[in-house]
Amino acid sequence: MRNTAKITTAVLAAGALTFGLSACGSGKSSSSAADTSGPLIVAASPTPHAEILNFVKDNLAKKAGLDLQVKEFTDYITPNTATEDGSVGANYFQNQPYLDDFNKKRGTHIVPVVTVHLEPLGLYSHKVKSVDALKSGATVAVPNDSVNEARALKLLASKGLITLKDGAGNEATPQDITKNPKDLKFKEVEAAQTPRSLDDVDAAVINGNYAISAGLKPAKDALVLESAKNNPYGNFLAVKKGNENDPRVKKLAKLLTSPEVKKFIEDKYQGSVIPSF
Give yes or no for residue 2 having a pLDDT over 50: no
Q: What is the mean pLDDT of residues 236-240?
A: 98
Mean pLDDT score of the chain: 88
Give yes or no for residue 29 having a pLDDT over 50: no
Residues 9 and 114 in one domain: yes
Residues 11 and 53 in one domain: yes
Residue 35 to residue 37: CA distance in whole angstroms: 6
Cβ density class 151-168: b for 16+ within 10 Å, e for less: bbbbbbbeeebbebeeeb
Residues 86 and 220 in one domain: no
Residues 160 and 63 in one domain: no
Q: What is the mean pLDDT of residues 154-177?
A: 94
Note the residue count of the chain. Answer: 277
pLDDT of residue 273: 93
Q: Tell me the pLDDT band of 223, cut-offs 50, 70 and 90.
A: very high
Residues 152 and 201 in one domain: yes
Pair 144, 173: CB distance under 8 Å:
no
Residues 109 and 132 in one domain: no
Give yes or no for residue 116 having a pLDDT over 60: yes
Strands 110-118 and 274-275: antiparallel
User: Domain containing 178 — which CATH number?
Assistant: 3.40.190.10
Residues 82 and 162 in one domain: no
Phi then psi dihedrals of residue 149, to 5 deg? -65, -45
Cβ density class 194-212: b for 16+ within 10 Å, e for less: bbebbeebbbbbbbbbbbb
First to last CA, the chain: 29
Q: Tell me the pLDDT band of 20, cut-offs 50, 70 and 90.
A: very low
Residue 22, C-beta contacts closer than 8 angstroms, at least 6 positions apart: none
Please tell me which residue, 168 or 10, carries the higher pLDDT value.
168
Give yes or no for residue 22 having a pLDDT over 90: no
Residue 212 to residue 206: CA distance in whole angstroms: 10
Residues 61 and 147 in one domain: no
Question: What is the share, in percent, of the chain residues with pLDDT greater than 70?
Answer: 88
Q: What is the mean pLDDT of residues 242-258?
A: 98
pLDDT of residue 188: 97
Residue 277, SS3 per DSSP: coil
Residues 71 and 158 in one domain: no
Give yes or no for residue 120 having a pLDDT over 50: yes
pLDDT of residue 31: 40
The count of domains in the chain is: 2
pLDDT of residue 37: 84
Residues 22 and 99 in one domain: yes
Residue 130 to residue 118: CA distance in whole angstroms: 24
Q: What is the mean pLDDT of residues 207-223?
A: 92
Helix then strand count (H, E) for the chain reads 10, 14
Residue 162 to residue 254: CA distance in whole angstroms: 41
Residue 5, SS3 per DSSP: strand
Domain interval for residue 158:
122-225
pLDDT of residue 209: 87
Residues 204 and 237 in one domain: no
Last residue of a domain, one of 188, 206, 225: 225
Q: What is the mean pLDDT of residues 14-32?
A: 36
Residues 37 and 113 in one domain: yes
Q: Give whole-number Cα distances, 226 to 161, 182, 268, in Å.
A: 14, 21, 19
pTM of the entire predicted model: 0.74
C-alpha torsion sign, points 259, 76, 78, 269: negative
pLDDT of residue 24: 35
Cβ density class 103-114: b for 16+ within 10 Å, e for less: beeeebebbbbb
